[in-house]
Amino acid sequence: MIDKDKTVIKSPLNLINLNITDLIIHRIYLPGQQSHFAVEHSNNIIPLSGKAKLTLEQRLTKVLSRGSKCIEMDIVEDDPLDKIHALHNAGEEVFVSKSKDIADKLGEAQTSKKHPEGVLVVVRCSYGITKKTRAVAIIKAELHEGFTSTLKDNVATIDYLNNLILTPEQKLYKVAFFSEITRLATINKNSYEVYLFDNNLTSKDDSGAAAYFYKGFLGLSISADSSRLTRSFYEITENYINENSESIEERIDLSSALRIYLKTEQSEIIGTNDFSEKYMAVDKRDDYISYCEEKNPVLSSFKKDDSLIKNKIKNSTFKFSNEVKIIYPSINGDSPCKIIERNDEFTIVKINGYLIGN
């Protein structure tokens, strides 16, 4: 059993010098009318070196590092963490065997024909400069189509391929990264940080398209702290805007953008990097991100839950020197309330609507 009593302070994932040491692939497919998917096992570790090794390391680093839409997860179930933990020191025979067990669990978790076929890639790796952190990446990748071209003796040909995986443009894959931040004698869920990258992670609950992978298969859950992280993101970003805006107009525009971002952003994965790219001036992005990281380093990417700030982001407000306030809804697109002209004596405001009462 997993010892859940000890608490280890968590820090944001920052992949440096990712080094893949072993890799194995198993095929996940749906035969006939079975209620769950079957697994075609592989019996060998794939030797990976040179350009292939470097490319996969770069792809994993890109989707898992700070600034990507990758979020930290909570470990709920002991299985398959026990099998993943066993991979660190396993010889080839045990590594292959444990990876088969992990693949079988994925096959059992895929109970709907809506879940795509593909391959499961189990990667043993490490990262860090002087002190190496051991890690295991679990990748579910869908197969997709493409072409290769060759030119020989001035004659060009193309070949059709239907088994491509993990190409730069492909978004049809999921990655769970189990990072062993503390080596303990007994398996302890708090000795691991787990990060998930999945473009399907847009549901507000645990029943969405990604749930079979992170919940049913890996025994993970979306952090219960999402609502507090969202509130922290809102408050810290608002403080930065108030402290660093060079004009009232800039402060109003960015404050309005912040509320609209939290209300209307289509992706459920939000964060400082995403907000800065969409709304911040280029020369302020790094300063804003550094400011937020100093206050709360987890804010680079997390799952949105605005339940604690719904009332705060519902409306925007103009405040004037004579205690007059104009409150208007925060909406994407043309603002219903605009400042046309202002000076030290008066402000002209245009309201896109007609007066109906007081």
DSSP code string of 225-262: THHHHHHHHHHHHHHHHHHH-SSHHHHHHHHHHHHHHH
How far is it, in rounded angstroms, from Cα 22 to Cα 46?
7
- pLDDT score, position 240: 95
- pLDDT score, position 7: 31
* % of the chain residues with pLDDT over 70: 84
Place of tokens 């009232």: 248
In 3D, which of 58, 15, 71 has the Cα closest to residue 198? Answer: 71
How far is it, in rounded angstroms, from Cα 190 to Cα 131?
19
* % of the chain residues with pLDDT over 90: 34
- pLDDT score, position 315: 85
How far is it, in rounded angstroms, from Cα 163 to Cα 104?
21
Three-state secondary structure readout of 311-352: HHHHEEEEECCCCCEEEEECCCCCCCEEEEEECCCCEEEEEC
- pLDDT score, position 185: 63
Amino acid at 199: N
Q: Flag the least confident range among 28-37, 125-134, 210-219, 260-269.
A: 28-37
Confidence band for 67, pLDDT divided at 50, 70 and 90: low
Cβ partners under 8 Å of residue 192, min gap 6: 75, 81, 178, 179, 180, 181
- pLDDT score, position 317: 85
How far is it, in rounded angstroms, from Cα 121 to Cα 137?
8
- pLDDT score, position 169: 58
- pLDDT score, position 42: 93
- pLDDT score, position 22: 94
How far is it, in rounded angstroms, from Cα 133 to Cα 140?
23
Residue 269 has pLDDT above 90, yes or no: no
- pLDDT score, position 218: 94
Mean pLDDT over the full length of the chain: 83
Q: What CA–CA distances, in Å, run from 147 to 116, 154, 163?
A: 22, 19, 10
Taking residue 307's Cβ as centre, other Cβ atoms within 10 Å add up to: 12
Residue 96 has pLDDT above 50, yes or no: yes
Residue 43 has pLDDT above 90, yes or no: yes
- pLDDT score, position 54: 92
Amino acid at 306: D
Q: What digits encode the pLDDT tens for the residues 141-169?
A: 887 666 667 777 766 767 756 666 776 65
How far is it, in rounded angstroms, from Cα 189 to Cα 205?
23
Confidence band for 187, pLDDT divided at 50, 70 and 90: confident
How far is it, in rounded angstroms, from Cα 16 to Cα 125?
12
Report whether 174 contacts 151 (CB < 8 A): no
Q: Flag the least confident range among 146-155, 181-190, 270-279, 326-335.
A: 146-155
> What is the SS3 assignment for 152?
strand
Strand partners, 134: 126
Q: Flag the least confident range among 110-124, 152-166, 309-323.
A: 152-166
User: CA 25, 30, 34, 37 torsion: positive or negative?
Assistant: positive
Confidence band for 127, pLDDT divided at 50, 70 and 90: very high
How far is it, in rounded angstroms, from Cα 297 to Cα 25?
34
Confidence band for 170, pLDDT divided at 50, 70 and 90: low
In terms of pLDDT, which residue wins out, 218 or 221? Answer: 218
Query: Which long-range contacts does 309-313 make (Cβ < 8 Å, 24+ apart)?
Result: 309/230, 309/231, 309/234, 309/262, 312/234, 312/259, 313/234, 313/258, 313/259, 313/262, 313/263
